[in-house]
Amino acid sequence: MTDESREGIPPVVAEAIDAANAHDTERFMDTFAPTGSVDDWGRVFTGREAIRGWSDGEFIGSAVTLDDLQFSAVPDGVAVTALVGGDGFNGPSTFTFLVGSAGIERMTITA
């Protein structure tokens, strides 16, 4: 992402995207609140241990890339439309990030 595209984006969301593209699991995990969750097309993983297991198997562990990013504000966060690449799912997805004071509270992945 360019610095210009980050305007209005919660820094923790930009960090999560950068960490995913760098395949840096520790940085990615550090963006989540301790009770945060990932909703991957209806499958919910709550807490850092569950998120790490999901990511190791299906996200960063599958060499994910997030390109062609478009951002739109949502209450308490941001929706990011991305072209997903890597060794798993490939295609467009929307990642909706809800952000609290402790980090990402929920990342929901949909079409």
Fold adopted by 4-110? Nuclear Transport Factor 2; Chain: A, (3.10.450)
Question: What are the pLDDT digits (tens) for 57-96?
Answer: 999 999 999 999 999 999 999 999 999 999 999 999 999 9
pLDDT at 7: 72
Q: What is the mean pLDDT of the chain?
A: 94
Q: Which residues pair with 96 in a beta bridge?
A: 79, 108
Residue 9 has pLDDT above 80, yes or no: yes
pLDDT at 2: 41
The proportion of the chain whose per-residue pLDDT surpasses 70, expressed as a percent, equals 95
Domain boundaries, the chain: 4-110
pLDDT at 3: 40
Dist CA 85 CA 88 (whole Å): 7
Question: Of the candidates 1, 6, 13, which has an alpha carbon nearest to the alpha carbon of residue 76?
Answer: 13
Where is 106: in which H helix or E strand? strand 103-110
Residue 28 has pLDDT above 60, yes or no: yes
Answer positive or negative: Cα dihedral of 68, 19, 90, 73.
Answer: negative
